[in-house]
Amino acid sequence: MKKNLLIFLVLFYFTLETYSQELVNQYPVFKSGEKITYNAVYNWGFIWIKAGIVEFSVNETNYFNEPAYHLIAAGVSIPSYDWLYKVRDYYQSYTKKETLSPLFFSRNTYEGGYQVNNQFEFNYADSTIFTKTKNTNKAYNEDTLINNKKTYDVLSAVYLIRNIDFTQYSINDTIPIRVIIDNEIFELYIRYLGKEIIKTHDKRKFHTIKFSALLVEGTIFKGGEDLFVWVTDDLNRIPILVEAKILIGSIKATLAETENLKFPLSSEIKEKSE
């Protein structure tokens, strides 16, 4: 499994250029100080293993004197799982505050002995992305990619998707996506699948919006629309459940905790007490 544990959580890639007319009126739906924590679970047949914890956070900052958001995603395997498959993942992205267009992105991940180190610098004056990439199998490399369309890194895209107004789409509509991973730019899509009530591992129930995402074939993903996401059908649009099929079994991320949300979590269905 030489791909990062967070990758199935952050495969939501959008071009703001495409969605400029379809963002929710409450943009942005998050605020500085928000933190969301997930349990990462591996499933193989009847076996369920809580493999790790993933935390997303956002804070307002300045990036070279420009108002920006500092986005962070960090994932670790739990100590009892380290002996089998140790994970230490860290992502960060600085984005323009008004548009979420990325300014700088870095990825430092360690999974089962496989390491990845990436840095992307987005230059909008000359429509380029300067990249620095290195992993266990590839030597350090610097490159400059042409960015003549809006391109997002995986982390800034997670926050952008929460601001998409899905009422503009019909069930099975596909939405084009553009993302940079390692040193390549991919043209993918997501598919809107409608609304659904789901129950979490801790028996909480939510009204959700569901969609799937086209995955890039890799060492654990088969490729195809094998990633499914359920986000709250309220103003927060936070992912409640993320599930991806892999070559052997599946992996899930389930909501564990939220802090400092901008809006009340009104999509949760409270059970009536007897």
For the stretch 76-111, pLDDT in tens is 999 988 887 888 999 999 999 988 999 999 999 998
| Distance, CA of 35 to CA of 228 (rounded, Å) | 22
Which of 47 and 76 is assigned the larger pLDDT? 76
Beta bridge partners of residue 50, listed in sequence order: 41
**Tens digit of pLDDT for each residue in 121-134?**
999 999 999 999 99
**Burial (CB count within 10 angstroms: exposed 0-12, middle 13-18, buried 19+), residue 78:** middle
The set of residues, in sequence order, having a beta carbon less than 8 Å from that of 139 and lying 6+ positions away, is none
pLDDT of 10 reads 46
- CA 55-59-65 angle, to 5 degrees, is 140
Nearest Cα to 212, choosing from 234, 183, 190, 232? 190
Q: Six-digit token pair at 53? A: 């914890």
Q: What does the mean pLDDT of the chain come to?
A: 84
Confidence band for 166, pLDDT divided at 50, 70 and 90: confident
SS3 label, residue 76: strand
pLDDT of 130 reads 98
Please name each of the domains of the chain with its CATH number: 16-262 (2.40.360)
Q: Report the pLDDT averaged over residues 239-268.
A: 87
